[in-house]
Amino acid sequence: MPQQGPQPVERQLPTDEARLLLDLTRDLARREIAPSAAAEEEAGHFPRETMALIGRSGLLGLPYPEEFGGGGQPYEVYLQVLEELAAARLTVGLGVSVHTLACHAVAAFGSKQQRTDHLPAMLGGELLGAYCLSEPTSGSDAASLRTRAVRHGDSWTIDGTKAWITHGGVADFYTVLARSGGEGAHGISAFLVPGDAAGLSAGAPEHKMGMKGSPTAQLHFDGVEVADERRIGEEGQGFAIALAALDAGRLGIAACAIGVAQAALDAAADHMAQRRQFGRPIADFQGLRFMLADMATRVEAGRALYLTAARLRDAGREFSARAAMAKLFCTDTAMQVTTDAVQLLGGYGYTADFPVERYMREAKVLQIVEGTNQIQRMVIARHLVGPETRG
């Protein structure tokens, strides 16, 4: 007879070191993250101390080279760590994903000197990062961004506003995409901007339906001066840098979504085993059992899809379409599974005494961030039949 209650996810991991990392992550999530997650989310508390602990534990720079302070782990391992963190608290899992995204430009496109100067502190937990692409008038159409960078000798002056910035106002550094040339994608460059730069300020955090512990804010650049040595890559290469980062970042969102879905599935299964109606556990009723079976199948399918994309990335193969598929399917799965979990808990599911209502509110944003799911469908279709024709 199967053991009752939620069990750890059975994972296929490439090394014994990876297995130890997952054990460390589960222990940290169980002891340091999950117990206070509901209360801290309700209070809108950003877990900066937890992020520092994750850094000290070696989990904040897993997919980056060891020579610069990273973990030297393949993406398939990093994403499963991310999934475990998100299952304990999405603010933490998404926070690690966003920080990893913010480090990507320096790690993948920075000079050797830039990587030597900046990556050790970025990957070691001393600093927390944020990624600045979206603007009030350019979200899905990122190539139309208006924030401008003007060169003056060996420095740049940045002016403009960025919007929907996770960690906005609390980050120590920002990877910023700004227009350094003409219109369109080829006029954009990338910069590494210190969080305490003169002229940089954050608006009040957005009031959101979920993830209240994760600050999301506008950033205002008012004559922010940045040395040219903090420009990442070539002038005009910024949009290509952004797209490369987003391909990887979408896998992070997919893993976080499966973490939330797994947490909701576990909560629903546990409730069904304990809740009794008509003299027996509600887990005995076929209609509810079938709902739970469908939820579990979606979660496993989503996990397999994001891991397939991750393994393609690790092998140096094209993975953009699979990343879009994973982001699309996994976030839609999170929304469906959390909604079903609320239904299975009945009235209890609608109360804050149980976590599934929080999971449902949090799942919604994952269908929106780092490219809405409508954008993911456009990306997938382009890989299948080419770009849209313009009449």
Residues recognised as catalytic: 370
CA separation for the pair 241, 297 (Å, rounded): 35
CA separation for the pair 120, 210 (Å, rounded): 32
Closest to 310 in 3D by CA, of 353, 270, 255: 255
CA separation for the pair 121, 108 (Å, rounded): 16
Distance of CA 352 to the CA centre of its chain: 24
Neighbours of 2 (CB within 10 A): 5
DSSP designation for 205: P
Our CA angle for 87, 282, 90, nearest 5°, is: 10
Q: How many CA atoms lie within 13 A of 222 on its CB side?
A: 8
Burial class, 248, CB count within 10 angstroms (exposed 0-12 / middle 13-18 / buried 19+): buried
CA separation for the pair 180, 185 (Å, rounded): 11
Q: How many CA atoms lie within 13 A of 193 on its CB side?
A: 36
Q: Which helix (H) or strand (E) holds 232?
A: strand 231-232
